Amino acid sequence: VWMISLDQLICSCENQNSKDLLPEQLIAWYDSGKEPITEDDADPEDLEVFYPTHQWQTIRPGQAVPAGSHVRLNLQTGDREAKLPDSENGKSDTREERRRKRLGKVDVDSNSFTSQELKKALAKMKESEKAERKAHEEEVRKKFRPIEQLKEEFEKLNVKMETDYEIMVKLISKFNSSASTLDEKVAALYDLEYYVHQVDNAKDFLSMGGLQLVIDGLNSTEAALKEHAAFVLGAALSSNPKVQIEAIEGGALQKLLVILATEQPLAVKKKALFALSSMLRHFPYAQQQFLKLGGLQVLRSLFRQKGMETLHVRVVTLLYDLIVEKVRSTPHLHPLTEPKGLSSILQYRQVKLVPAVVEQDWCVVVSNLLAMPEHDSREKVLKMVGVLMAFCRERYRGDQALSTTLSLLRSEYEELAAEEQREGDKDGYFKELLGSVNTIIQELR
């Protein structure tokens, strides 16, 4: 059998046009004896891919031979044949072979895909993606419809989008109506508390007469109404000077002190203390009136009432905040935190809170709370003891119970702080508490 390689064939070609021909075009030219079909003349969509192996295989008409393959012409049969090239060590190591190894087995049956079929498949994939995207967008539209559409739908259902103002008007009307049941009034107050947290809503609440209605509700004989009325009042007072002024002028301070001084359920007193705290913070005039009305004595009485233990730390926290607030109002001590305006500074100077605290023996009341088991409660009490130290030092030095308590706390927090450090927390919570205890012990020496 006579075989001639493709390279030999190229060298023997006498046709002048054969110099610029590709191997596949030369074979076609040799077979037909005509000018070769150029790349532009062939339809690439109809080309079937030829997959070479290490053995010579016949190339069928119309098959595209991968680049890098060895191609020859069998002169006996007249067929073109191709195979994978061999490396220098006799093993195939072409890029195609390495790719095939990575990909593993691939379905390459004779019915291989044409370019047209692949394009159609890709088009279908794009159409599928578009359909999925459109479905997702439609799902989002169903969940989050435009506000204009919602308004139209609500109008069709005779449902109107109400403003906070309109809602508060209805709630106040419900609370003030004699036709409303106790549960309906409580529910109205519960909803109002949510709205008056916002400063602007609280001002609207004041302008529409709701604040005075709630203050009057503190006189109710129903514990539930008093509780929720105090809750709404406290929410409206928080960081809202205009409402604070109107509330104290409307008699809210006196009514809150009456609730705290008389026998009431714990839930009622808890909300009343919340409202009182909201009224006194950052309002020196209210603090003056609080002292004049005997507010400190009222708070002191809570420590003698049974079942009020949960209020003790809240009272201490309130007093601590008021004392620190007054200290920071002194310009030469804290120039960066002084309240704005000379009148505010003068008002704070008239608040004689610390002398009243010392006079009513709050020093011992506060220090006794260090025996509480909760670390959070101890932290707040330690802060208060530290603030009172300058005024209660001699009283504390003679308090043997306090000395014993401080020693126990130091031992406990030394162990907890050491455990924190072993766990990698060098500046932990218990180390901070230990520092507070050690500072107080040092002050008393």
Poorest-pLDDT segment among 37-41, 57-61, 272-276, 287-291: 37-41
Q: Determine the pLDDT at residue 132.
A: 82
* Percent residues over pLDDT 90 in the chain: 56
Mean of pLDDT values over 134-153:
75
145 has a pLDDT exceeding 80 = no
Q: Determine the pLDDT at residue 87.
A: 58
Residue 242 belongs to a domain: yes
Shared domain for 290 and 432, answered yes or no, is no
CATH of the domain at 192: 1.25.10.10
Shared domain for 266 and 338, answered yes or no, is yes
Shared domain for 103 and 190, answered yes or no, is no
Mean of pLDDT values over 157-179:
89
385 has a pLDDT exceeding 70 = yes
Tally of structural domains, the chain:
4
For 58, the token pair is: 């016949």
φ/ψ of residue 113, rounded to 5:
-80, 140
104 has a pLDDT exceeding 60 = no
Residue ranges of the alpha helices (H) in 37-114?
95-103
295 has a pLDDT exceeding 80 = yes
Helix (H, G, I), strand (E, B) or coil at 49: strand
Model confidence at 344, pLDDT cuts 50, 70, 90, reads confident
Shared domain for 151 and 167, answered yes or no, is no
210 has a pLDDT exceeding 50 = yes
Residue 127 belongs to a domain: yes
Residue 125 belongs to a domain: yes
Q: What is the DSSP secondary structure assignment for residue 20, as one 8-state letter?
A: G
391 has a pLDDT exceeding 90 = yes
Residue 361 belongs to a domain: no
91 has a pLDDT exceeding 80 = no
Model confidence at 144, pLDDT cuts 50, 70, 90, reads confident
Q: What pTM, to 2 d.p., does this model score?
A: 0.64
Residue 370 belongs to a domain: yes
Q: Determine the pLDDT at residue 431.
A: 95
Nearest partner of 308 among 270, 341, 348, 342, judged by Cα:
270
Shared domain for 71 and 166, answered yes or no, is no
Residue 360 belongs to a domain: no
Shared domain for 128 and 194, answered yes or no, is no
pLDDT tens-digit profile of 229-251? Answer: 999 999 999 989 999 999 999 99
Residue 311 belongs to a domain: yes
Cβ neighbours, 10 Å, residue 51: 17
Residue 186 belongs to a domain: yes
For 302-363, the DSSP string reads: TTTSTT-HHHHHHHHHHHHHHHHHHHHT-TTT-TTTPPSSHHHHHHHHT--HHHHHHHTTHH
| Domain range for 134 | 116-156
Query: Where is pLDDT greater, at 142 or 10?
Result: 142
Q: Give residues with Cβ within 8 angstroms of 77, minimum separation 6.
A: 58
Shared domain for 85 and 130, answered yes or no, is no
Shared domain for 340 and 255, answered yes or no, is yes
Q: Determine the pLDDT at residue 52.
A: 84
For 119-149, the DSSP string reads: HHHHHHHHHHHHHHHHHHHHHHHHHS--HHH
Q: Determine the pLDDT at residue 265.
A: 97
Shared domain for 142 and 217, answered yes or no, is no
Query: Where is pLDDT greater, at 418 or 20?
Result: 418
Model confidence at 2, pLDDT cuts 50, 70, 90, reads very low
40 has a pLDDT exceeding 50 = no
Shared domain for 329 and 185, answered yes or no, is yes
Q: By the 8 A CB rule, do 231 and 266 touch?
A: no
Residue with tokens 């009343």: 272
Shared domain for 123 and 9, answered yes or no, is no
140 has a pLDDT exceeding 70 = yes
Shared domain for 237 and 338, answered yes or no, is yes
Compute the mean pLDDT over every residue in the chain, rounded to the nearest whole number. 82
Query: Where is pLDDT greater, at 331 or 225?
Result: 225
pLDDT tens-digit profile of 27-36? Answer: 443 444 444 4
